[in-house]
Amino acid sequence: MKNKTTKSDLRELRTNIFRYLFVIGIFIIIFSLFLNYYTIRIYHEDGVLLVEHSYRLIFGWNHSSDYLSLLLPESLDFSENPTLIFTYILIPTLALSLYGAFFKDFQDAEDLVRLKFYSYSHLLLLGLVFFLLFVYPFSFLFSNELYYPFLIIEQIDEVLHYSVDLGYIGFLCSFICIVPYSLIYYVACYKFTIQSQTQQQALARVKKNLQQEIDLDKFIAEEESELGIKHGSFYRNFKNHFTERRLEGVP
């Protein structure tokens, strides 16, 4: 019993640590939205910075340079923010997940079925961060010849630096922080839902069997009552007939 209690305490402690990491990860994401996600720098051969062009997930490209535009593909539009729609989805998801971590912890809940919404919110957050970390660089950066995660190109009198920046590193750290609690939260709600459905199905079968037994008992009682009435009627008819024959002197 003591070992079981110790294991339970360790499991609870581990889950609480994951929950704290999850909250820290959310704040890292919020902070990283305002940091540079990707940066292009051009240095003179003597090390002097000539042009710096950075991209932030929430604001897009900071400014455009005619000189830099000559070095990059014409298809790259600095006026667009390709991740803006994902940012709009990410912000309310962050709020829901943060609320769920603070006020809807599955360890304190009696009915985890009601927490399924927050488990999906945690998974959505995990999916969005995964997309911005691994899918977006390949779908957007590579297609526009923006090298990932970094590349240094030396030309005659200048050096081009392509690299992810602090915003990307922040998202990477946050992803590591939010993965454990998101998965534990979802698995706990999923298992509880399955068990609840199994119990409800078992209870429904028991009720059905009881109802069938009640119906069977009722049927038997009705049959016995009907048979009793028939036997009583037969006995009365036989008795009356026997009495009439005795009165008539018929043996």
Handedness of CA 80, 144, 165, 48 (dihedral sign): negative
Confidence of residue 99 (pLDDT cuts 50, 70, 90): very high
Question: What whole-number distance in Å separates Cα of residue 192 and Cα of residue 111?
Answer: 8
Query: Domain containing 33 — which CATH number?
Result: 1.20.140.150
Q: What is the mean pLDDT of residues 121-134?
A: 93
> Which position has the higher pLDDT, 80 or 211?
80
Q: How much is the average pLDDT of 75-94? A: 80
Q: Is residue 231 part of a domain?
A: no
Q: Determine, yes or no, domain membership for 61.
A: yes
Mean pLDDT throughout 211-217?
Answer: 57
Domains in the chain, number: 1
Give mean pLDDT, residues 212-224: 57
Q: Please indicate, yes or no, if residue 216 is contained in any of the structural domains.
A: no
Q: Flag whether 221 is in a domain.
A: no
| pLDDT at residue 45 in the model | 77
Backbone angles phi, psi at 44, to 5 degrees: -75, 160
Query: How much is the average pLDDT of 217-227?
Result: 58
* Residue 224 counted as domain residue: no
Provide the pLDDT for residue 1. Answer: 45
Residue 80 counted as domain residue? yes
Give the integer Cα–Cα distance in Å for 134 and 40. Answer: 19
Lookup result for tokens 């008819």:
237
Sequence-separated (6 or more) residues with CB below 8 Å from residue 126: 175, 178, 179, 182, 183
Please give the share of the chain, as a percent, with pLDDT higher than 90: 24
Q: Which domain holds residue 29?
A: 2-201
Q: Do the beta carbons of residue 161 and residue 72 sit within 8 Å?
A: no
Q: Tell whether 51 is covered by a domain.
A: yes
What is the arithmetic mean of pLDDT over 22-40?
A: 92
**Model confidence at 81: pLDDT above 80:** no
Q: Is the pLDDT of residue 79 over 60?
A: yes
Which one has a higher pLDDT value, 234 or 43? Answer: 43
Q: What is the mean pLDDT of residues 6-12?
A: 76
- Which amino acid is it at 46? D
Position with higher pLDDT, 234 vs 165: 165
b/e string for 123-159 if b means 16 or more Cβ within 10 A? bbbbebbeebeeebbeebbeeeebbbeeeeeeeeeeb
Residue 79 lies in a domain: yes
